Structure 1
Amino acid sequence: MTRPDKLGLFLHVHLVSDSTGETLAGVMKATCAQFSNLIPIEHMHTMVRSERQMDQVLASMERAPGLVMFTMVSMSLRDHLLEWCARNSVPCMDVLDPLLKTMSQYLGTPIIHETGAQHARDDSYYRRIDALNYATTNDDGQLGSRLDNADVILLGVSRTSKTPTCVYLANRGVKAANIPVVPGLPLPDELQRKNGPLVIGLTVSPKRLVQIRRNRLLSLNEEHTTSYIDEAEVRKEVVNAKRLYARHHWPVIDVTRRSIEETAAKILSLLQERGESE
């Protein structure tokens, strides 16, 4: 661990997995976010399933010592890793071990120790694929499939994170369509049906929206000033969208200070509340 200056604390983090490493990456990201100015240098070692592969991982750790986080089903590989870390005074932890032991004790059920069990191609896997296809064909008002098939429909003016939120929800098995709120353009009649999908309006502060849109235009090498980034016009656009949501009693989520994950979590909560009330 090195501290080159007062601005950041750099830390080598080795993530060792016998599967895809997605679980480790999520835990590492959430953990590091709790420390100010911490800059993790990530070393991802995935699909480690043999002694030879483990030796290559250990060689990498020797070149760049740091914290080790792992998920490993094979007891022999696990012991090999733990022994090396203990011998070299390297902090090492199995991120799932405490949770698995607690759950096993509570359920009175043994742990199956199956590599990549969470990636099995079960019904939930195909449900996520189906949801992703749905999100793709029903993006930005394309309406490639019937809106009645959606679990949720997101509305919002341009650049309110509708598409990435729908893709994130699809990875949770939720069919999400999104429709832009454009001045002068009517919305689909399907949105008015009482027993239709949950409709949610996304909003954002006009000032933040102008910044996002300006960055978008710059990425396209577009320098002309238009109403798309005029603060007065943008404010009017946002206000009119809010009035539309209020008129139809649609729940609203302000995404100004929310990440995609936080917005999706709120949507999942609204879906659950709706399911419990029906």
Structure 2
Amino acid sequence: MSATAMPASPRLATWFHVHLVSDSTGETLNTLLKATAARFETAKPLEHVASLVRSHVQLDKVLARIEQAPGLVMYTIVDAGMRRRLEVKCAELQVPAISVLDPLLNAFADYLGLEQTMRAGGQYELDEDYFRRIAAIDYTLAHDDGQMTWDLESAEVVLVGVSRTSKTPTCMYLANRGIKAANVPLVPTSDPPPELPGLRKPLVVGLTASPDRLSSIRASRMTNLAATQDVESYTEQSAVRAEVQKAKRYFASNQWPVIDVTRRSVEETAAKILTLLSARRGGAE
């Protein structure tokens, strides 16, 4: 037998059915499924989504699908009778039925000493929070990519960075959380907007990334756009490296916090910004 180590054989994916049953939009279930499945490298869920399930007729169809393709069931159902039917059917089929919010709801109820509001989709009511999110989205769209820099003082967060540092998607994520976010690109051929250093109300955050990573992303973008002009200055590694270093010096001169997005998802970057914003507001209080 050869002493040479044999290459490890690739692990086969484990496919499984998972039913997401909700009397609301199902976004909570979808998020929790993705977060949980990510912990199991070879697990590949086959999703069956049933949202806005609010009648027994709708539930009948869901139960039929679960019977046809048995698998793990994750649910958020408020109605006690419908919950009971779902749980009984899952017990008959010997598949897990998980009410994903129950542990949190019970903990809140015990801690607060309050009754739960038994209302499906309560988080999507047209209340003050909803209209704040809509206003934040409108603001962010109007202040994207360096637009309306004269109005940046009204922002809650301003992101500054060179091209392709995820400024726009991060701003949109924050806007969906009700945060008025603007972003300003740093362009090598132009000076930064003069309004930036004087901002006092917004949290200004510099976004940076590895020059190698930026160069690769930019080159891919140019290929997709079939661009032919100024490609070298936009994608060449030495030029990108100089651009990134210049941006870092600018951030430091203004004493702004800096986030390296090279290995961060948009969600992780936004979470860091929300932490900085919370700390800033706490210090102001």
Instruction: Find the counterpart in structure 2 of residue 272 from structure 1.
Output: 278
- Letter of the 1:233 counterpart: A
Q: Give 1:253's match in structure 2, choosing from 256, 259, 277.
A: 259
Q: How does 1:198-237 map to 2 (within 5 A)?
A: 198-222=203-227, 225-237=231-243
Q: Give 1:43's match in structure 2, choosing from 44, 48, 57.
A: 48
Residue 223 of structure 1, CA deviation: 6.8
Please say if residues 165 and 209 of structure 2, whose CA atoms lie closer than 8 Å, have aligned partners that are also in contact: yes
Alignment coverage as a number of residue pairs: 274
Moved more, 126-135 or 138-147: 138-147
Using structure 1 for the length normalisation, give the TM-score: 0.94
Residue 192 of structure 1, CA deviation: 2.0
Post-superposition CA distance 1:237-266 (Å, at most 9, x none) = 111111110111111000000010110011
Residue 195 of structure 1, CA deviation: 2.3
Unaligned runs of 5+ residues in structure 1 are none
Secondary structure (helix, strand or coil) at the match of 1:189 reads: coil
Instruction: Find the counterpart in structure 2 of residue 127 from structure 1.
Output: 132
Please say if residues 23 and 77 of structure 2, whose CA atoms lie closer than 8 Å, have aligned partners that are also in contact: yes
Unaligned runs of 5+ residues in structure 2 are 1-9
Instruction: Find the counterpart in structure 2 of residue 146 from structure 1.
Output: 151
**C-alpha separation between the residues in 2 aligned to 1:65 and 1:123?**
41
**C-alpha separation between the residues in 1 aligned to 2:153 and 2:250?**
21
- RMSD between superposed Cα atoms in Å: 1.5
- Letter of the 2:180 counterpart: K
**C-alpha separation between the residues in 1 aligned to 2:190 and 2:114?**
57
Post-superposition CA distance 1:62-114 (Å, at most 9, x none) = 22221100000111111110010001101111000111112112211111111
Secondary structure (helix, strand or coil) at the match of 2:195 reads: helix
Task: Name the % identity.
Answer: 52
Please say if residues 157 and 237 of structure 1, whose CA atoms lie closer than 8 Å, have aligned partners that are also in contact: yes
Moved more, 135-144 or 256-265: 135-144
Residue 145 of structure 1, CA deviation: 7.0
Q: Give 2:116's match in structure 1, choosing from 111, 114, 134.
A: 111
Instruction: Find the counterpart in structure 2 of residue 181 from structure 1.
Output: 186
Secondary structure (helix, strand or coil) at the match of 1:179 reads: strand
**C-alpha separation between the residues in 1 aligned to 2:264 and 2:45?**
23
Instruction: Find the counterpart in structure 2 of residue 14 from structure 1.
Output: 19
Residue 13 of structure 1, CA deviation: 1.1
Post-superposition CA distance 1:177-220 (Å, at most 9, x none) = 00000113122222222623111100000111112112212222
Secondary structure (helix, strand or coil) at the match of 2:255 reads: coil
Instruction: Find the counterpart in structure 1 of residue 57 from structure 2.
Output: 52
Please say if residues 134 and 145 of structure 1, whose CA atoms lie closer than 8 Å, have aligned partners that are also in contact: no
Q: Give 1:192's match in structure 2, choosing from 191, 197, 202.
A: 197
Are the structure 2 counterparts of residues 12 and 162 from structure 1 closer, same or farther at C-alpha, using a change threshold of 3 Å? same
